[in-house]
Amino acid sequence: MRCIAEPAEASRVAEPPTLAAPRPLRGFRPPDVPGIASIVSEALHEHYDPSLYGSLSAEWPSGFLVATDERDAPVGFLLGVNQVPAEGRVLMFAVERGWRGTGVGHALMDAFLERCRLRQFRRVTLEVRVSNVGAIRFYTRYNYSVIDLLRSYYSDGENGYHMARDL
Ligand SMILES: CC(C)(COP(=O)(O)OP(=O)(O)OC[C@H]1O[C@@H](n2cnc3c(N)ncnc32)[C@H](O)[C@@H]1OP(=O)(O)O)[C@@H](O)C(=O)NCCC(=O)NCCS
């Protein structure tokens, strides 16, 4: 499973939407799958078996955060996993294009880090395409730093950065 993202330039909307009220966050629910799959397809260019989301959620339900619109439909999500003791990993993280730049990503990351702290994790890791400068800047502002270069990490041959931050 790889955190795959489009190049940053294409990921930014030309005109950010008007300032939005903070979005409520909640846990993943099975009816979210079509909405989340649509975000994954557009933002991460991936198509996973729909059952994947439920099975990953079952392992650590609190690590799967969903931001919703006024109709409770997903507008962004962060799927975190705990595969290494005392360590969280951001497996998938994306916000619907029209909602980017309105604070949804920050809300999701803040909440995820808080949940990692509650579980007394010592570190959070993630992978990102080297071309995804927007996401890398976002992560750098969250004190993630590059700990490794992952050569040909992505299926199209692009290198990835392994990033981590302490808690
Ligand atoms: C990376 C990503 C998840 C960030 O989500 P986001 O909702 O756009 O993030 P935010 O809106 O919280 O913050 C983005 C920027 O908008 C700014 N911003 C936050 N709230 C804002 C507001 N209310 N008004 C205007 N700007 C705002 C932030 O300062 C931030 O600026 P920065 O990038 O210079 O730090 C999103 O861009 C995305 O889905 N990208 C495509 C998929 C991807 O690359 N995922 C990561 C894979 S590793």
Secondary structure in 3-state letters for 54-79: HHHHHHCHHHEEEEECCCCCEEEEEE
In our burial notation (b when 16+ CB lie closer than 10 A, e otherwise), range 112-126 reads: bbebbeeeebeebbb
pLDDT tens series, the chain, 167 aa: 555 544 444 444 434 444 455 567 999 999 999 999 999 999 998 889 999 999 999 989 999 999 999 999 999 999 999 999 999 999 999 999 999 999 999 999 999 999 999 999 999 999 999 999 999 999 999 999 999 999 999 888 999 999 999 99
- Can you give the length of the chain in residues? 167
Cα 48 to Cα 36, 44, 45, 55, 99: the distances in Å are 11, 11, 10, 12, 22
Would you say residue 95 lies in a domain? yes
Which ligand 1 atom is at minimum distance from the Cα of 99? 7
- pLDDT recorded at residue 4: 52
Residue 156 lies in a domain: no
Identify the domain containing residue 117 by its residue range. Answer: 8-124
Taking the C-alpha atoms of residue 128 and residue 147, their distance in angstroms, rounded to an integer, is 12
Q: How far apart (Å, rounded) are the C-alpha atoms in residues 13 and 73?
A: 20
CB 19 less than 6 A from any atom of ligand 1: yes
Q: Which helix (H) or strand (E) holds 167?
A: none
Asked, for residue 133, whether it belongs to a domain, the answer is: no
Q: Is residue 97 part of a domain?
A: yes
What is the model's pLDDT at position 92? Answer: 97
How many whole angstroms from 58 Cα to the centroid of ligand 1? Answer: 27
User: Does residue 116 belong to any structural domain of this protein?
Assistant: yes
User: Atom 18 in ligand 1: which residue has the minimum CA distance?
Assistant: 101
CA torsion, points 64, 69, 72, 76, in degrees to nearest 10? -20
> Is 115 a pocket residue for ligand 1 (Cβ < 6 Å)?
no
Q: Examine residue 148 and state whether it is found in any structural domain, yes or no.
A: no
CATH of the domain at 81: 3.40.630.30
pLDDT number for residue 74: 96
Please check whether residue 103 lies inside any domain of the structure.
yes
User: In whole angstroms, what is the distance from residue 28 CA to residue 62 CA?
Assistant: 9
Distance CA 133, CA 100 (A): 15
Does residue 57 lie in a domain region?
yes
* Reported pTM: 0.88
pLDDT for the residue numbered 10: 41
119 lines ligand 1 (CB under 6 A): no
Task: Provide the number of structural domains found in the chain.
Answer: 1
Check pocket membership of 105 for ligand 1, CB cut-off 6 A: yes
Query: How far is the C-alpha of 101 from the C-alpha of 75, rounded, in Å?
Result: 12
CB count, 10 Å around CB of 127?
Answer: 20
Q: Is 95 in the pocket of ligand 1 (CB under 6 A)?
A: yes
